[in-house]
Amino acid sequence: MGRSRFWVMAAVLALALVPLCQGVAQAQGQGISSFPRSKVEIVTPSGARHGFTVEVATTYEQLSQGLMYRRTMAADAGMLFDFGEDKPVSMWMKNTLIPLDMVFVARDGRVLGVAQRTVPGSLEVISSPGPVRGVLEINGGTADRLGIRAGDRLIHPLFAK
């Protein structure tokens, strides 16, 4: 009787761990920790400067993954999406667990627009206000708190001076 109870408990424990292991494998398989890091700075017309340490997404897999499955993000962190060319961009929040601000950036670093406080998990399409080279995602509410808006400039080697 003791041995069968042990095996039943072992089976229950193994089944309980399957979702956890699948989640870890899924996150690792989608490259969550494989993004290169870089510094960006947003400069407002008044001269205020706001710095962020970002992960840079450039490959199809990285662009597809983005910040999905993240439960938290440091206040001065974010993700910079490099689309490699100027084009209209549409994004959504599927599998994204934290609210984000999306800062749409032209080839020359000009901020063209900001989608503020996007809704976690939403399938609503969020489109750029025109062709952009990149999108900077930061914690939801940060753009409003720092006064980041269209006309500001994002400083990063990705954008022409």
3-14 per-position pLDDT tens digit: 666 555 544 444
- Answer yes or no: do 77 and 106 share one domain: yes
- Answer yes or no: do 41 and 25 share one domain: no
For the chain, the residue count is 161
Q: How many domains in the chain?
A: 2
- Answer yes or no: do 41 and 111 share one domain: yes
104-142 per-position pLDDT tens digit: 999 999 999 999 999 999 999 999 999 999 999 999 999
Q: Do strands 90-91 and 126-127 pair parallel, antiparallel, or not at all (unpaired)? A: antiparallel
Q: What is the pTM of this model?
A: 0.79
Provide the pLDDT for residue 84: 93
In a domain, 113, yes or no: yes
Q: Which domain holds residue 14?
A: 1-30
Residues 6+ apart with CB under 8 A from 79: 35, 54, 55, 56, 57, 66, 67, 136, 137
